[in-house]
Amino acid sequence: MKTARILGTNEAYPIGKILCIGRNYVDHIKELGNETPEAPVIFMKPASSVISEGENIVIPSYSNDCHHEAELAVLIGKQGKNIPEMQALEHIAGYGVAIDLTLRDVQAELKKKGLPWDIAKGFDTACPLSDFVDARTVAEPQNLQIRLSVNDQPRQDGNTAMMIHTIPAIISHMSGIFTLEPGDIILTGTPAGVGPVRSGDRIVAEIPGIGSLRVTVA
């Protein structure tokens, strides 16, 4: 069973649902040529897709176009349903760094056919994830810089202030659909600059004040 650890404590949560927000940064929407959604776009990844610091990404043989997407990860520590926005932050145990890997070619083909695109987002190793810092140590989660580099070349550099839907709004909206449980993880969307990764690439994602995450493409 894969767990989410909070640094500096003995707390560890078995990873439950990984709930992800798509199209939550305007510049990222523009770079992919998508429409801006009125409500958060939600998809899921299985816990089996998680890998940790220093592990290898394995791109499935059915794709030739795997993209990186650096994101702020939110770890739920308190169960909730229909959570008001004003109480949303009370349900967060920690914040971490995640990379949402996307098989862009597979996703595009399935979208074109009107089919679900789970296999483009939920394959094994599709969710590199750091340890978490205690939420109480993060003064302003809505003002965090998100950066990602590939082979020491900068690719992504955005800020959580640029989110269309804020963290409390995301939690409130999601809890109206799913009961949020301790160990659930929310990926809050990615800023612009996404791009392909290939065999041998070294990827570093970091959010100052939260942590960093280093993985390699096998």
Distance between CA atoms of residues 142 and 114, nearest Å:
34
Q: Where are the beta strands (DSSP E) in 40-170?
A: 41-45, 50-51, 56-57, 66-68, 70-76, 92-99, 102-103, 127-128, 133-134, 145-150, 153-159
Residue carrying structure tokens 């600059």: 193
Give the confidence band of 1 by pLDDT, cuts at 50, 70, 90: confident
Give tens-digit pLDDT for 95-153: 999 999 999 999 999 999 999 999 999 999 999 999 999 999 999 999 999 999 999 99
The token pair that represents 151 in the structure block: 């082979």
Distance between CA atoms of residues 100 and 32, nearest Å:
15
Q: What is the pLDDT of residue 23?
A: 81
Give tens-digit pLDDT for 119-130: 999 999 999 999
Whether the pLDDT of residue 34 is over 70: the answer is: no
What residue ranges define each of the domains in the chain, with the CATH number in brackets? 3-217 (3.90.850.10)
Radius of gyration over alpha carbons of the chain, in Å?
16
Q: What is the pLDDT of residue 28?
A: 66
Whether the pLDDT of residue 30 is over 90: the answer is: no
For the entire predicted model, the pTM comes to 0.95
Compute the mean pLDDT over every residue in the chain, rounded to the nearest whole number. 95
